[in-house]
Amino acid sequence: MRKLVIFVGIVVVALIAFNLFTFTVDETKKAAVLRFGEIIRVVEQPGLQLKIPFINKVVYLDDRVLSYDIQPRDILTSDQKRLTIDNYAIWRVGEPQLFIEANGGRISTAQSRIDDIVYSDLRDVLAKHSLDEIVSEKRLAYLQEVTATSSAKLIKFGIRLIDVRIKRADLPTEIEQAVFARMRSERERIAAQLRAEGEEEAKIITSQADKERQIILADARKAAEEEMGIGDARALEIYANAYNQDADFYQFWRTLDSYETALKGNTSIVLSTESDYLRFLDNLAEEKKEEQPSN
């Protein structure tokens, strides 16, 4: 039993000694070894490391690329428009000694510095440009300028700024409603203009169609009249040829046809007995007398 207690005691002492004389760095961090507040070495490779207990102090620093959402704030553009900018910064720990001396090795302190400096530079850069420029593709160039300016200021605090981006750029609520109303009015004006242009174009198309219709009808009437003229000429030619073949018969047939038309129904005609129109009737009467037998 005594041997077991001794063994357990040795194991406990070994574990305590191991923890006092060693420390471990994982893949996502790097460590700074301090002796009386002064950095004596920086460990960037993961693994087991040695230290002197009670003399050396180990401060762990995050070695990953970090993202920080900066508190949304208002800025004033060059055309006096107030925008609420919601942006974020991508950064990582730079020089470990500077980072520990300036921020005490704390991420929260570093983020507070990023918040102040990036917002100040973002406000100064965007204040030189109008709202339309900020919401256009030009904003990428403005953000690059902010990144370069802020990076030069943050590097002395052991902070390496990688990029600054805008998530949203909103107008304040009271201004947003006015801008929305103005945009709607502008869209309605454009719609009315387009409708007026469409109606004018429709009138032009309708007028052109009516003109073409009149031309087509006139050409059709002209062609019809030409065909009728040709037909009438052909009919007259046929009548003339028929008349020339037997003029007496033609005259006789036409006269009988006129009798049928003129004497149709209870029609009375008063003519002189010497009228040429009654010549055929007189001839018919004489022929009937000649055909009657004499008493």
Domain ranges within the chain, ordered by starting residue: 2-62, 66-170, 246-289
CATH number for the domain running over 66-170: 3.30.479.30
DSSP assignment letter at 101: H
Q: What's the rounded Cα separation, in Å, for the pair 245 and 66?
A: 119
* pLDDT over 90 (residue 261): no
| Rounded Cα distance, 20 and 51, in Å | 8
Q: What is the pLDDT of residue 58?
A: 77
Pairing of strands 22-25, 82-93: unpaired
Mean pLDDT of the region 132-153: 88
How far is 131 from 52, CA to CA, in rounded Å? 59
Q: Which of 143, 172, 163 is nearest to 76 (CA)?
A: 172
pLDDT of 101? 83
Choose the weakest-confidence range: 218-227, 247-256, 269-278.
269-278
> Nearest-CA neighbor of 118 among 150, 88, 94?
150
Q: What is the pLDDT of residue 152?
A: 93
Amino acid making up residue 218: A
The two tokens of residue 238 are 């046929």
Q: For residues 30 and 38, is the Cβ–Cβ distance under 8 A?
A: no
Q: Give the closest residue to 61 by CA, choosing from 104, 112, 21, 19.
A: 104
Map tokens 């008493």 to a residue.
295
Q: What is the pLDDT of residue 160?
A: 93
Q: How far from 149 is each of 117, 125, 205, CA to CA, in Å?
A: 9, 10, 61
